[in-house]
Amino acid sequence: MRIIPVLDLKDGQVVRAEMGRRDRYRPIVTPLSASPDPVSVATGLRTLHPFSAFYIADLDAIEGRAPNAEALARLQAMPDAPELWVDAGIADGKALAAALAEPLLRPVLGSESQHSDALLRRFCDHPGPVLSLDFFADGFRGPPSILKEPAFWPRTVIVMTLAKVGSGAGPDFARLAEIKAKAASRSVVAAGGVRNAADISALSSLGVDAALVATSLHDGTLTPGQLASLGAA
């Protein structure tokens, strides 16, 4: 079971997500880092486990502001450079092609940022992109055809239940099971609500391949020993 820590970036800092209500996100306070600096937080997370990848939500880019390019460059320059899964609001082929050319970067296509399913149709056979199916409190956000046409999904699909993020309410197992059934042989990644090792084990039993995790790492619920025993990559 691959566990991928999440770094939500805003104004060059890591912020703490709260149920998809981005206006409420504030710089993170965590025992793993003396500051919300992205490299400091990532380094602190690696004191728990030698994580090989981080998921980055560039909230400024997603909302149409200047991307956190400097922060991403510094993360890419870390020792034992991690693979970065980056959602930066990409919605056109030129931007996606440029991201795919970056070493150790996997561009995430958030459904909320897509104007149609055209980009997915064009790149569905490419091994690099990751699709994030974004579910807010009011339901799926994005072109309905993306959710209805799994044939155009790439090889890795995130089920991003933003209403669960930071809520301590547990993963959305029902929705994950539904997407897993539609995804065929694709890798399915759970995002939102992972509380503890029991949730990770339950996700694994469901056939989920990876989980994006933040709160349970920062609050110490997932310990280094548990991460090691879960086989976190």
Number of C-beta neighbours around residue 125 at 10 A: 9
Provide mean pLDDT across the span 221-232. Answer: 88
Q: What is the pTM of this model?
A: 0.94
* Residue 221: DSSP 8-state: S
pLDDT at 20: 56
Residue 6 has pLDDT above 70, yes or no: yes
* Residue 162: DSSP 8-state: G
Domain range for 183 is 2-229
Share of the chain above pLDDT 90, in %: 86
pLDDT tens-digit map of 166-217: 556 789 999 999 999 999 999 999 998 898 999 999 999 999 999 999 999 9
Q: For the chain, how big is the Rg over CA atoms in Å? A: 16
Residue 233 has pLDDT above 70, yes or no: no
Tell me the residue type at 140: F
The length of the chain in residues reads: 233
pLDDT tens-digit map of 49-68: 999 999 999 999 999 999 99
| Separation between Cα atoms, residue 133 and residue 118, nearest integer Å | 15
CATH number at residue 82: 3.20.20.70
Domain count, the chain: 1
| Separation between Cα atoms, residue 70 and residue 139, nearest integer Å | 33
Q: Which positions ≥6 away from 125 have C-beta within 8 Å? A: none
pLDDT at 163: 73
pLDDT tens-digit map of 104-144: 999 999 999 999 999 999 999 999 999 999 998 889 999 99
pLDDT at 19: 60
End-to-end CA distance of the chain: 7
For 214, phi and psi rounded to 5 degrees? -135, -70
Contact (Cβ atoms closer than 8 angstroms) between residue 133 and residue 186: no
DSSP state letters, 81-139: --EEEEE----SHHHHHHHHTSTTEEEEEEGGG-SSSHHHHHHTT-SS-EEEEEEETTE
Question: Who has greater pLDDT, 119 or 18?
Answer: 119
Dig out the tokens for 101 from the structure. 């050319």
Contact (Cβ atoms closer than 8 angstroms) between residue 49 and residue 224: yes
Exposure of 128 by Cβ count < 10 A (0-12 exposed, 13-18 middle, 19+ buried)?
middle
17: closest CA among 49, 64, 76, 58?
58
For the chain, where are the alpha helices, taking DSSP H only?
38-45, 59-62, 69-76, 93-100, 118-123, 144-148, 173-183, 197-206, 215-218, 224-229
